[in-house]
Amino acid sequence: MQSLKVALTIIIALLLQMVIPGRLPFFQYVDLALLITVYFSLQRAPMIGMLVGVIGGIGQDAIGGGILGVQGFAKTLLGYLIAVASIRFSLENPLARLGVVAVAAAANTVLFAGLHMVLEDPLPYTAAWGQFGKVLGKTVLADGVASLAVFALLDRIFPEQHAARRMAIGKRFYE
């Protein structure tokens, strides 16, 4: 049942990623697949974080028409790194989670643009540093704001994850 809910969450996020940017222009900077990858990576499960990252990233490549595998690679790498960091450090605090989202959004944008440059398919916004900086800033801001709502919704959809995270806080700090 849990894996079905995770799969449906990824599919719904990809569908929303296709529909909403046409109606809300600022939403083009929100990366729902990344936010879901970060959410599951913060659950201290590197395999789940990587699996959600690869499926969400490849799905995003498929619907976005980019080079297949670039988003998958970036999100898989970030999913693993965030999961390992969440094992070593306490990232349950909402402010810490917001910081993780900001760093993940920036790293995802840099990885995505860098991989496109390496594959000799540079993105239009990488022509000038100023333009790249604006896209990077808007992406970090949009993902940070969207993460507040997305994480609250996912905490309601996956209450067992929320309870497990709270239990881990108690074990780590009160025993």
pLDDT above 70 coverage of the chain, percent: 91
Q: Residue 125 carries which DSSP code?
A: G
**CATH entry 3.40.800 includes domain 2-174:** no
The pLDDT, as a whole number, for residue 164 is 62
R_g over Cα of the chain: 16
The pLDDT, as a whole number, for residue 88 is 92
Q: Cβ distance 54 to 76 under 8 Å?
A: yes
The pLDDT, as a whole number, for residue 120 is 84
Where in the chain are the domains? 2-174
Angle at Cα 53 formed by Cα 51 and Cα 56, nearest 5°? 105
Q: Is the pTM of this model over 0.75?
A: yes
Identify the segments of the chain with pLDDT beneath 70: 161-175
The pLDDT, as a whole number, for residue 59 is 95
